[in-house]
Amino acid sequence: MKKELTYTFIALFCFMSFANAQRHEIGVQLGMSNLVGDIGRTNYVLQKPVGSISDYGLPFYGGLMYRMNFNPYQTVRLNLGFSNIQFDDRYAAENYRRVRQLRGTNSVFSADLLFEYNFLPVNEEQVSMLSPYVFGGVSGLYMEASKPELIINSASNVIVSYSKDKAFTMALPVGVGLKYKFNYNWALSGEFTFRPTFSDKVDYSMVDEKDITVKKTSLGTEQTAAVVQSFIEQRTIGNPNSKDWINSATLILSYSFGRPPCYCK
């Protein structure tokens, strides 16, 4: 199945490369990422770094970008990126979070397929132009996950340890930006991206039964299941029905190449 999807994607990419719009852009994208979840701050963009760099790193986004311009206004875009996410209750605006003092980091790899619409014909063959744009699409996210391991001696005596695992989820990114084309082939874009994910586990605030490993138990099957369910309820933080958002504020420097497209009307 994975091979079939890979071949399909390659065929689709080749077809798109030779479609009417044969003008391409490649670029680098750098900026800041932040989490809106059940732990830490809740501002949607431009969260300040927290803690020491040695422990937390920086709230960083870095990636590669490819655009294919179908016409002066419409673009399909592929982003491959990496986000270092920070979350720390001590810096939250809500008092109950500051009292709780939970914190952590996550590393998230993302692949975004986006449709981009420019309000002005910035992809025309001109020396320079400035245009706002909007975009939306779909993302695949590969991130770190928490894996609890339980030793159950009795219903009231449970020893818990944690190990790290990997998890995959999806997101539906949307955003706004401003693109400045200059010197014919170069462009500088600034944008805000909002990624509502399908997961509530980016900040490790929730675990499912499938995430838990019972290494040892002295109880029967039903009693063990009841203990696991009780652990899940106690372990869940915040609202499990409210999913996490991974947002970013970035700059893109891109270069256009290839035969100019024939924008037929």
pTM value is: 0.82
Output 41 or 68, whichever has higher pLDDT.
Answer: 68
Determine the Cα–Cα distance for residues 128 and 205; give it in Å rounded to an integer: 47
Q: What percent of the chain has pLDDT over 70?
A: 89
In degrees and rounded to multiples of 5, residue 10 shows phi and psi of: -65, -45
What does the pLDDT average to over 41-53? Answer: 77
Determine the Cα–Cα distance for residues 97 and 107; give it in Å rounded to an integer: 22
Determine the Cα–Cα distance for residues 203 and 103; give it in Å rounded to an integer: 8
- The β-bridge partners of 134 are 117, 176
Under the banding of pLDDT at 50, 70 and 90, the label for residue 132 is very high
Element (H, E) at 3: helix 2-17
The predicted structure's pLDDT at residue 3: 52
What does the pLDDT average to over 152-161? Answer: 88
The predicted structure's pLDDT at residue 20: 40
Determine the Cα–Cα distance for residues 219 and 217; give it in Å rounded to an integer: 5
**Alpha-carbon separation of residue 95 from 92, 98, 234, 239, 240 (angstroms):** 7, 5, 21, 17, 20
152, 218 contact by CB (below 8 A): yes
Under the banding of pLDDT at 50, 70 and 90, the label for residue 46 is confident
Indicate if the pLDDT at residue 19 is higher than 50.
no
Kindly report, residue by residue over 71-114, the tens digit of the pLDDT: 889 999 999 999 999 988 888 888 888 888 888 899 999 999 99
Kindly state the tokens that stand for 260. Answer: 């100019």
Determine the Cα–Cα distance for residues 113 and 129; give it in Å rounded to an integer: 25
Under the banding of pLDDT at 50, 70 and 90, the label for residue 25 is very high
72, 264 contact by CB (below 8 A): no
Determine the Cα–Cα distance for residues 68 and 10; give it in Å rounded to an integer: 15
Determine the Cα–Cα distance for residues 199 and 222; give it in Å rounded to an integer: 28
Under the banding of pLDDT at 50, 70 and 90, the label for residue 4 is very low
**Domains located in the chain, CATH noted:** 22-145+166-204+243-257 (2.40.160.20)
Q: Which of 12-16, 45-49, 204-208 has the lowest mean pLDDT?
A: 12-16
The predicted structure's pLDDT at residue 262: 52
